[in-house]
Structure 1
Amino acid sequence: MKHIFRKGSNPARPTLLLLHGTGGTEQDLIPLAERIDEEASVLSVRGNVLENGMPRFFRRLAEGVFDEEDLVFRTRELNQFLDEAAQEYGFDRENIVAVGYSNGANIAASLMFHFQEALKGAILHHPMVPRRGIELPDLTGRYAFIGAGTNDPICPAAESEELQILLQKANANVELHWENHGHQLTYGEVDAAAKWYKENF
């Protein structure tokens, strides 16, 4: 997978896995990583799927309707890539915190839904529920921050609340943060995520 790796100054800190939104690239979220943890290593990945020329992490059938078969395949692919990248770059595979926006947040949530030890934690900016009707692994000791907009036309409030409940039922420690905005990523939300990260990691 096309990616950027930057080794941090403190190997004890988590590695931040950056996952862009639809049409983004591996460059997009690097400024967020710097606001969250200046000492952390950064692994920023570009999605392998193209939709009308725009990179994504998995296919969708329509707005808000995921191609579940492709989602599962791409989630496995990303999890395997993390195994290989940890070997190649020498970071702790068991200490990865994802930072995802929109489509990137959805694939990060899917990692948590399918693989117990894929992520230590995740900052999910405007995610949706990746899959329904499956049993989640035991996520005891895992952390998630959900950033949501009260007026988000793509990700309704009920979607954010349902994701929080599903992760909490799997024993994850979850914080749901609301901004009075739409689907855009605001400074207030980024600062809230950084504060949450510093309290938990």
Structure 2
Amino acid sequence: MEHIFKKGNDQSKPTLLLLHGTGGTEKDLLPLAEKIDATANVLSVRGNVSENGMPRFFKRLAEGVFDEEDLIFRTKELNDFLDESAKKYDFDRNNILAVGYSNGANIAASLLFHYQDALNAAILHHPMVPRRGIDLPDLSGKDVFIAAGTNDPICPAQESEDLKSLLEKANATVKLHWESNGHQLTYGEVEAAEKWYRNR
């Protein structure tokens, strides 16, 4: 997978896994990593799927309708990539914190839904529930921050509430932060994510 890796100054910190939104690249969320923790490792990944020339992490059938078969395949592909990257770049595989926006947040949530030890924590900006009607692994000890917009036309408020509920039922600790905005990534939610990260 196309990616950027930056070695941090403090190897006790989590490696920040950056996952862009539809049409983004591995460069999009680098300023977020700088804001959240400038001393941490950064692994920023470009999605392997192209939708009309726009990079994504998995296919969709329509707006808000995921191709579940492809989602499962791409989630495994990303999880395997994390295994390989931890060896290649010599970082702690058990201490990865995903920072995802929109489509990137959805693939990060899918990692949590499918693999118990894929992530240690996650910051999910405007995610949806990746899959319904499946048993989640035990996510005890996993911290998740969800940023959502009350006027988000792509990700209805109920999606955020449902995702929080499903993760909590799997024993994750979840903080749901609301902004009175749409689907865009706002400075307010980035600041709230940084504060959550510092205090977790």
The two structures share one fold, judged by TM-score above 0.5:
yes
Q: Secondary structure at the match of 1:61?
A: strand
Q: Does 1:29 align with 2:24?
A: no
2:165 is paired with a residue whose SS is: helix
1:74 Cα deviation (Å)? 0.1
AA aligned opposite 2:81: F
**1:25-104 residue pairs with structure 2 within 5 A?**
25-104=25-104
The answer for the alignment partner of 2:112 in structure 1 is 112
Task: Tell me by how many angstroms 1:64 deviates.
Answer: 0.1
User: What CA RMSD, in Å, does the superposition of the two structures yield over aligned residues?
Assistant: 0.3
Aligned positions, number? 200
Supply the AA of the counterpart residue of 1:137. P
Correspondence list, 1:104-143, <5 A: 104-143=104-143
Per-residue deviation, 1:122: 0.4
Deviation at 1:170, TM superposition (A): 0.2
CA offset at residue 177 of structure 1? 0.1
Cα deviation digits, residues 132-173 of structure 1 (max 9, x gap): 000000000001000000000000000000000000000000
Cα separation, 2, equivalents of 1:172 and 1:197? 15
SS of the residue corresponding to residue 132 of structure 2 reads coil
* Counterpart AA for 1:86: A
Where in structure 2 are there 5+ consecutive unaligned residues? none
TM-score, length-scaled by structure 2: 1.00
> Aligned partner of 1:60: which letter?
R
Kindly indicate whether residue 180 of structure 2 is the aligned counterpart of residue 180 of structure 1: yes
Measure, in 2, the Cα distance between the counterparts of 1:91 and 1:26.
19
Q: How much identity, in percent, do the aligned residues show?
A: 75
Structure 1 stretches lacking a partner, 5+ long:
none
Deviations 1:101-151 (A, max 9, x none): 000000000000000000000000000000000000000000100000000
SS at match of 1:160: helix
**After the TM superposition, which residues 161-200 of structure 1 pair with which residues of structure 2 at under 5 Å, given as runs?**
161-200=161-200
Q: Which amino acid aligns with 2:94?
A: E
Specify the alignment match of 2:20 in structure 1.
20
Shift of 1:73: 0.2
Q: Which amino acid aligns with 2:57?
A: F
Query: 1:40 offset after TM fit, Å?
Result: 0.2
Determine the C-alpha separation between the residues in 2 that align with 1:88 and 1:44: 15
The alignment's TM-score, normalised by the length of structure 1, stands at 0.99
Quick one: which amino acid aligns to residue 171 of structure 1? N
Cα distance, 1:16 vs structure 2: 0.0
Instruction: Encode CA deviations 1:18-72: one digit per residue, 9 max, x unaligned.
Output: 0000000000000000000011000000000000000000000000000000000
Q: What is the alpha-carbon distance in structure 2 between the residues aligned to residue 192 and residue 29 of structure 1?
A: 16
Distance 2:95 2:138 in 1: 17
**Cα distance between partner residues in 1 of 2:56 and 2:156:** 21
Shift of 1:76: 0.2
The alignment partner of 1:92 has SS state of coil
Runs of 4+ in 1 over 3 A off after TM superposition: none
